[in-house]
Amino acid sequence: MKRQIILGAVTLIILMFFINTDSFAQTTPTVTVSTNKSSYKAGETGTLIIKFKTAKKVKIPVEPEIEVTLNSSEVEGLGLQPVSSEGGYLKPAQVKYKFKVSSNVTKGSSVTISGSIKFGYCNEDSGICKIGTKNFSKTIQIK
């Protein structure tokens, strides 16, 4: 009897470990950043296209709002464009962020747009949501 109780307790502990490990195992989505054009004029506005590649059954929620921080002095952030969503999640899993190239940049030079993206991601099955942050860097040409 005592042996059966111990065996049952050990089995329960092992099951709890596997359930918890699975629910916390979601990986942070991959983020890719591109621009709507490869070259810009000084003072021109452009768009960063931020795409999220998620694991199966992981989605990017609309709330909390995605935060984009730019670290470049040659580019000013103008903000996120309205997003498409379905059921409170991005659909498609991408956002667009407007920026403006400084009017002081030199023609023929290149400018690196760098920064970070903070976003939420949720597991559809477990309902567990996490916050992820990814850094990015994208070089544009000045014409």
**How does pLDDT run across 36-92, given as a tens digit for each residue?**
999 999 999 999 999 999 999 999 999 999 999 999 999 999 999 999 999 999 999
- Sorted by where each begins, the domain ranges of the chain are 29-142
Instruction: Answer yes or no: CATH 3.30.565.10 is held by domain 29-142.
Output: no
More confident residue, 131 or 27: 131
Residue 18 is predicted with a pLDDT of: 46
Residue 5 has what pLDDT? 65
pTM of the model: 0.81
Segments of the chain assigned E as strands = 30-35, 39-40, 45-53, 58-59, 67-70, 75-80, 85-86, 89-90, 94-101, 110-123, 129-142
Per-residue pLDDT, 13:
55
Task: Tell me what the pLDDT averaged over the chain comes to.
Answer: 88
- 90 versus 4: the higher-pLDDT residue is 90
